[in-house]
Amino acid sequence: MAESMSAQDKLALIYENLHEKLKEEIIEDVIIRQNRSLKIYWGTATTGRPHCGYFVPMVKLAHFLRAGCTIKILLADMHAFLDNLKAPIELVKYRAEYYRFVITSLLKSLNVPIDRLEVVLGSSYQLSAEYTMDLFRLCSVVSEHDSKKAGAEVVKQVANPMLSGLIYPLMQTLDEQYLDVDVQFGGVDQRKIFTLATESLPKINYKERAHLMNPMVPGLSGGKMSASDPDSKIDLLDPSDVVEKKLKKAHCVPKEVEGNGMISFVEFVLLSVDGLKNGGKGRFVVERRKPEDGEPLVYEDIATLKEDYEADKLTPQLLKPAITKALVNLLQPLQEEYQASAEWQEIANKAYPPPETKKKEKKVKDRGTKFPGSQGGVEAKPDGHVEGKAEDQVNLGTGAEEAIENLNIQQKAPS
């Protein structure tokens, strides 16, 4: 397909549905003047289980592949470890392998060629002496302030941050050179890291790259969809009943388009995926609740859908079931491949082991503060005597005669 596309058609497909692009003249020079395959890298830290938000970058990677680009996917296992220990070092290897299965399956399900796709593990080159020396060089030209600012929207922010959070943006910058690409692609939340890369790589005599950014799809609760926040996302392996339950509770204000994650998902995933699969314009179908309500609503562009939503012709009660049906169908090929692969299932259990069930602790009966051995009362010693703040209330004395006297035992006269 790419062979029959003009340079302008390729650029249009590369730029479709992007939020922002930086240094696009670099891209246009490669496509138009050099007339070669554009080399793009997209990286993901292998932390929590991938969720449905991953469809957004996958759709763009599919566009890039259709436009004849060469894609390198970086499974950033070292970044996952550096980001406030989001991925324990013992699990990093397995999580990277899990991500490899998921991403490959997602792209295959989108009906795009993957012969120009290469998956690279970060630790395969980031632990080399050459890379480490370049990282030191980068440390000498980037301030602590600039590195912290660059990672503010990506690295987990805590009260007492580790130094690892400052190294994270520098490594992502350096990866552009070591992966030998023209472009780095990522979410708009990566913008500050992209700016850091543009400014700092020439300082250590490496060329600057172009940057492409996709929008961030709001999560189910309205904020950012995050792999480490289960309440904000739908897992790619969630069964249909779980998907339906989560979408029913999703944040979706009537007549409000801005910040509406449901509408964003239709715009950046469902319409694009349908277009990729069918080789044309995407369609999104919304069934009426009752047959007598009329024909289904069919949308081929997001502008019309937004107009209907703002006019309350399309309501959350109609939109959510339609998204549920489309998403369940979208997830089906990946889930079937997972169920058929014993290797993938084994990796999943190693990457995300089920939490240990805590044994119920036996409740200790409270016998009161005056009971020997109680906290703040008295403590019984091995020889039988007691010590503590209340020992005078329970101590019977040091001998038998004193104990009898204290117990106030009266001897009865013999009959």
Say if residues 394 and 370 touch (Cβ distance below 8 Å).
yes
Write out pLDDT tens, residues 94-103: 999 999 999 9
Rounded Cα distance between 59 and 188, Å, is: 15
Say if residues 319 and 260 touch (Cβ distance below 8 Å).
no
Please, what is the average pLDDT of the chain? 86
Rounded Cα distance between 99 and 351, Å, is: 10
User: Between helices 316-340 and 240-248, what is the axis angle to 10°?
Assistant: 150
Rounded Cα distance between 42 and 122, Å, is: 12
Confidence of residue 400 (pLDDT cuts 50, 70, 90): low
Say if residues 92 and 122 touch (Cβ distance below 8 Å).
no
Phi, psi of 52 (to 5 degrees): -70, -15
Higher pLDDT, 233 or 371: 233
Say if residues 318 and 295 touch (Cβ distance below 8 Å).
no
Structure tokens given for 131: 């890379």
Confidence of residue 171 (pLDDT cuts 50, 70, 90): very high
Helix (H/G/I), strand (E/B), else coil: 312 = coil
Minimum mean pLDDT range among 21-25, 42-46, 100-104, 108-112: 108-112
CB atoms within 10 A of CB 264: 20
Minimum mean pLDDT range among 31-35, 95-99, 110-114, 323-327: 110-114
- Provide the CA 44 distance to its chain's centre, in angstroms: 9
C-beta contacts of 155-158 below 8 A and 24+ residues apart = 155/83, 155/84, 156/83, 156/84, 156/86, 158/84
CB atoms within 10 A of CB 97: 21
CB atoms within 10 A of CB 4: 6
Q: Are strands 117-121 and 70-76 parallel, antiparallel or unpaired?
A: parallel
Q: Are strands 210-214 and 386-388 parallel, antiparallel or unpaired?
A: unpaired
Q: Are strands 183-187 and 20-22 parallel, antiparallel or unpaired?
A: unpaired
Which percentage of the chain shows pLDDT scores above 90? 62
Residue 85 pLDDT: 58
Q: 21: which strand partners? A: 212
Q: Determine the average pLDDT of the residues in 288-302.
A: 88
Rounded Cα distance between 244 and 247, Å, is: 5
Say if residues 76 and 44 touch (Cβ distance below 8 Å).
yes
Rounded Cα distance between 353 and 196, Å, is: 36
CB atoms within 10 A of CB 302: 20
Rounded Cα distance between 70 and 358, Å, is: 48
Q: Determine the average pLDDT of the residues in 106-121.
A: 88
Say if residues 70 and 119 touch (Cβ distance below 8 Å).
no
Helix (H/G/I), strand (E/B), else coil: 380 = strand
Which percentage of the chain shows pLDDT scores above 70? 81
Write out pLDDT tens, residues 190-227: 999 999 999 999 999 999 999 999 998 887 766 656 55
Q: Please give, one letter per residue, the 3-state secondary structure of 97-134.
A: HHHHHHHHHHHHHCCCCCCCEEEEECHHHHCCHHHHHH
